[in-house]
Amino acid sequence: MKQLQKLTAVLLSMLLILSAFLPAFAAQNEPLARGDAAQLILDAADDYRAGLTLGDIIKGYEDGELRESAPVTLVEAATMLSRAFGTLPTPVGDNLRTGVFVDAFSDVPAWALQDVGNLRSAGLLVPKADGSLGASETLTADELETLLRRIWSLYGTNLKDDFYAAVNKEALDESTIAAGEMTTNAFTALAALNSARLTEIINEIKDGSYAAGTKEQKIADFYRSVSDMEARNAAGIDPIAPYLTMIDEIESVNDLEQVEKTLFAELGMSGLIGFAYTADLKDSSRYILYLGTMSPALTKDVYAADEGAQKEAYLNYLATLLRLSGESEQDAAQHALDYYTLEKALSPSALDPQDQGNVDKIYNLYTLDQVKALYPALDLESLLSAAGYQFNGSAMVMDKGLFEAFAPYYCDEQIDLLKTVLKLSLLSSYGVTLSQDFTDASNLFSQQYYGIEGSKTPEETAMTMVQNVMTDYLGELFCERYFSEEAKKDVESMIADFIEIYKQRITALDWMSESTKAMALKKLDTMAVHIGYPDEWDSYMDDLTILAPQDGGSFFQNYCTLSRASYAENAALGGKEVDRDSWIMTAYTVNAMYSATSNSIWFPAGILQAPFYDVNAKHEANLGGIGAVIAHEITHAFDNNGAKFDEKGNAADWWTEEDYAAFSALCEKAAAYYNGWESAPGIVNSGILTLSENVADLGGLGCAIQAAGELENPDYDALFRNWAAIWEMTATRSYLQLLSVLDVHSANKVRTNQTLACFEEFYTTYSIEPGDGMYVAPEDRVKIW
């Protein structure tokens, strides 16, 4: 399956890719008493400064009264924390990168300045919008515990309080982020290693001379066209100038659609209404036409705030693209604002990230008459025909709200706005192939929006582009060198073992009836497994001509050739049966996935390496890495989204009403259990957003622990430590904030600690007891599969 198929398949697939409250105050949301706060802090600090007494923490008022029953204020709690823990460690590495550092707070009384300053200098206190601390506000037990967890994380010395921080302390303290990147973690580190290996392969190829049509010739000549920045700068905007002129001359929707046909035919670029064939969610053996519209680029919270640095960075980027296209500074600024205003208006109607895998919300069928009623000015049949597609009865729209919200704008009265949308689509899609100005604009936006420092070198950028585009050819060469048949067979054996373990776990469930268990077991029996790389290598690029600059080629021309071919391959799927074995990930991808529409799991060679998998590592360590990842992907077949598909990959109800109600109740408990925990001070995890991945983490780690338990004298410590190690991550605060509202995975710290805290083996391995930060009462732990 090639590029466009891969893109649409990802939309339908679930990618892998802290403990609960301290028991004494588990359900308490009322203001915490001063005396209770002091005792809680004393207990929490015991492992960090032994020998303290309550008198060291709570000093009382000027009249000598302790007023232990009075509500504790934030400034009082901060003072007690400083007294209990003493001078806090100086933040370094991840703590320095993700902490909140302000010069001072506007509302801290003089008597508390030094103690509050201790926490403030450590990056642990988050100011309010007006710059104040909220010093006089009362504190709940939950809020105090959040402050304690920030301190435990800063120390990172006690795995009973923060397992993630303790296991990964050295890596987190010494962490750096490469120029032009937003994050560093086990996935990106392995991806960087794979990229270095691919770069080595490309370097061996790029200066050679090869017969026309070979994969080596195409890799080499594509690289030469990408890296020839001198020629790209000399050409400037010229490669797309004719299309910009066409867009400027549009006067009606009919004109717009004629230009879109030209863009599709010559550039392989879709217009304002996107389309592709993808597997039918309710009959996964056949392809169905998918329709979509423009989608807001930013997260909903940015549009809702409608102010701040992120909005300004985005507007500046849009305006820069338009200026590079030839618009005046004034027109570019106005058109950028018009475009942003449209996105803001559409944003509330778009699906939330957690709903994008929910078949009940994404399987929306429209007849041609229904589309015409919504878009009376749209000649959809003509657009489809020009691209080689057909509208056969009905089409699927995944984001119904967005599709319908955009409809009123698709008219002659809004033609100027639609021209801006099309122009920015062209500039953002193909600017990457043009001059350095476009790359600089993109880099500046990334730096301002995501908090990225620096940017990739031109050589790194060229290598990345080749690796992103020549995936089929490079994947074959990568696997020949770096993925052994021994490793493939070993992983195959592990997967078979995990499927058997999963069958045991389903059979033992006490909340599921026998009839539903039978259907779940059938789903496991028919689950397809894909490991390492395709059984047969083929590529839509085989029949393409890729030209080097010396032969008259350019990055722009080669990119257009590839894009046209990708669409043509997808258009050829019409009327064919879905190939369930067609690969939808590159062989060197550092990730894994479950596909609901094919009931299959995928493990590319790229992830089957340390720290996830090491053929020479201790078996328990591999169980905590690739083992838990394998079982995680299996669990996606039974998460809140995957559970709505049957063994054939069709959206179908195979549950009894009672069983599904029980499952839903467990999912609600899981959502609450993972909700509210911080990835960094002031950035919190959403249990609803991350539900599907949390269910998969619980199932994955549970299976890995069970597999270890079947060994003689299992080394659970090796398993748990590698579980924490594979999620070690550092990132910019801006990126963490983005993930908190967009990523369906829990923050890495949260998925490490909260998931571990659900398993009794974790408690017995480290003698974790009530009062430890990692402790969760048995009745509050979550188990689903």
- Token match 């657009």: residue? 383
Asked if the model's pLDDT at residue 5 lies above 80, the reply is no
- Cα–Cα distance measured from residue 396 to residue 400, given in angstroms and rounded to the nearest whole number: 9
Cis status of the peptide bond prior to 239, with omega within 30 of 0: no
- State how beta strands 183-185 and 729-731 pair: antiparallel
Asked if the model's pLDDT at residue 2 lies above 90, the reply is no
| Exposure letters 577-608 (e unless 16+ CB within 10 A, then b) | ebebeebbbbbbbbbbbbbbbbbbbbbbbbbb
- Nearest of 636, 637, 614 to residue 625 by alpha carbon: 614
- Cα–Cα distance measured from residue 380 to residue 741, given in angstroms and rounded to the nearest whole number: 34
pLDDT (tens digit per residue) in 329-354? 999 999 999 999 999 999 999 999 99
List the domain boundaries for the chain: 11-17+178-185+473-780, 23-161
Q: What is the mean pLDDT of the chain?
A: 94
**pLDDT score recorded for residue 485:** 85
- Cα–Cα distance measured from residue 324 to residue 764, given in angstroms and rounded to the nearest whole number: 63
Q: Is 235:625 a contact under the CB 8 Å cutoff?
A: no
pTM of the model: 0.92
Asked if the model's pLDDT at residue 11 lies above 90, the reply is no
Please, which pLDDT band fits residue 305 given cuts at 50, 70 and 90?
very high
Please, which pLDDT band fits residue 203 given cuts at 50, 70 and 90?
very high
Please, which pLDDT band fits residue 29 given cuts at 50, 70 and 90?
confident
Please, which pLDDT band fits residue 644 given cuts at 50, 70 and 90?
very high
Of 602-616, 626-640, 647-661, minimum mean pLDDT range: 602-616
* Residue 761: CA count within 13 A, CB half-sphere: 20
Asked if the model's pLDDT at residue 4 lies above 70, the reply is no
Please, which pLDDT band fits residue 151 given cuts at 50, 70 and 90?
very high
pLDDT (tens digit per residue) in 401-432? 999 999 999 999 999 999 999 999 999 999 99
- Cα–Cα distance measured from residue 642 to residue 596, given in angstroms and rounded to the nearest whole number: 6
**pLDDT score recorded for residue 14:** 32
Of 7-16, 171-180, 226-235, 505-514, minimum mean pLDDT range: 7-16
Of 22-31, 550-559, 611-620, 677-686, minimum mean pLDDT range: 22-31
**pLDDT score recorded for residue 77:** 97
Q: Is 278:9 a contact under the CB 8 Å cutoff?
A: yes
- Cα–Cα distance measured from residue 355 to residue 688, given in angstroms and rounded to the nearest whole number: 10
pLDDT (tens digit per residue) in 90-119? 999 999 999 999 999 999 999 999 999 999
For 601, the 3-state DSSP assignment is: strand
- Cα–Cα distance measured from residue 601 to residue 690, given in angstroms and rounded to the nearest whole number: 20
Asked if the model's pLDDT at residue 179 lies above 90, the reply is yes
Average confidence (pLDDT) over 270-294: 96
Average confidence (pLDDT) over 488-497: 91
Number of C-beta neighbours around residue 178 at 10 A: 16
The continuous run of DSSP H or E covering 679 comes out as strand 678-680
Asked if the model's pLDDT at residue 8 lies above 50, the reply is no
Question: CA-CA distances (angstroms) from residue 158 to 47, 161, 167, 606, 722?
Answer: 8, 6, 9, 33, 17
**pLDDT score recorded for residue 484:** 86
Quick one: CA dihedral 121, 122, 125, 130, positive or negative? positive
φ and ψ at 583, to 5 degrees?
Answer: -70, 140
- Cα–Cα distance measured from residue 622 to residue 137, given in angstroms and rounded to the nearest whole number: 48
pLDDT (tens digit per residue) in 531-576? 999 988 888 899 999 999 999 999 999 999 999 999 999 999 999 9
Looking at the chain, the whole-number percentage of residues with pLDDT higher than 90 is 92
**pLDDT score recorded for residue 7:** 36
Q: Is pLDDT larger for residue 620 or for residue 30?
A: 620
Q: E-assigned strands of 596-673?
A: 600-604
The answer to whether domain 11-17+178-185+473-780 has CATH 3.40.390.10 is yes
